[in-house]
């Protein structure tokens, strides 16, 4: 999908450091895109403040009201999609979005949902991937971990077609915090580079 500037919808649940990396790359002229909406499932997500500071529209779409009223995850996902569609995103970027998305959402953006996962393909799907990789290293099972960026065509967890990967060695004297910091830096680089490639 080649155009002068791709329209990105960014979904996040926390600090938004990957979202910030996207903004920095846009500012630097290395990512031909604009963020047209930032959505979160958590009202206290710091990523919202990053968006507000840039006058980017924001949306807080909490799951709790759906659970409390007996509505399903499919209802939640379908309504999230309906709230994003008016912004006409070319790509939906899951940048630390801590919900699995069902086909009720994904069907509206076929082959246009991009996820970042802090592990190599087939390793440590789901949550706490860095912590689980560090534990596996301590058990002598692995010597490196990594990052992947992949498409999300369906409801499988961290299994869609891989767009890019990068390996991150685990050093003998690493702490979990040190590994996390190195992983996050690698995430930022890989996500921005991969988005630039898919946009072009």
CA–CA separation, 185 and 110 (whole Å):
29
Task: Work out the number of other CB atoms within 10 angstroms of the CB of residue 131.
Answer: 14
Secondary structure (DSSP) of 8-68? EEEEESS--HHHHHHHHHHHHTSS-EEEEEEEES-TT-HHHHHHHHTT--EEE--SHHHHH
The answer to whether 133 and 119 have CB atoms below 8 angstroms apart is yes
Tell me the two tokens of residue 69.
């009223």
Tell me the two tokens of residue 13.
């649940």
Active site residues per annotation: 117
CA–CA separation, 190 and 88 (whole Å):
25
Instruction: Please tell me the number of Cα atoms within 13 Å of 19 on its side-chain side.
Output: 32
For residue 118, the surrounding DSSP H or E stretch is: none
* Mutual angle of helices 176-199 and 17-28, in 10-degree steps: 50
The answer to whether 113 and 92 have CB atoms below 8 angstroms apart is yes
CA–CA separation, 193 and 189 (whole Å):
6
């Amino acid at each position: 999908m080649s155009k002068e500037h791709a329209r990105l919808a960014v979904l996040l649940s926390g600090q938004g450091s990957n979202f910030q990396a996207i903004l920095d790359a846009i500012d630097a002229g290395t990512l031909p895109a604009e963020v047209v909406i930032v959505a979160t499932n958590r009202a206290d997500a710091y990523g919202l403040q990053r968006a507000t500071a840039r006058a980017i529209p924001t949306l807080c779409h909490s799951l709790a009201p759906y659970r409390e009223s007996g509505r399903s995850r499919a209802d939640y996902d379908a309504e999230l999609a309906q709230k994003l569609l008016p912004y006409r995103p070319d790509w939906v970027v899951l940048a630390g979005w801590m919900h699995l998305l069902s086909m009720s959402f994904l069907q509206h953006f076929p082959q246009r949902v991009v996820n970042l996962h802090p592990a190599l393909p087939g390793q440590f799907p789901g949550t706490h991937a860095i912590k689980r990789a560090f534990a596996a290293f301590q058990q002598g099972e692995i010597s490196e971990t990594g990052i992947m960026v992949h498409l999300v065509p369906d409801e499988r967890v961290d299994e869609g077609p891989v767009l890019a990967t990068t390996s991150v060695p685990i050093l003998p004297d690493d702490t979990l915090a040190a590994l996390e910091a190195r992983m996050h830096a690698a995430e930022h680089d890989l996500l921005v580079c991969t988005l630039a490639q898919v946009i072009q």
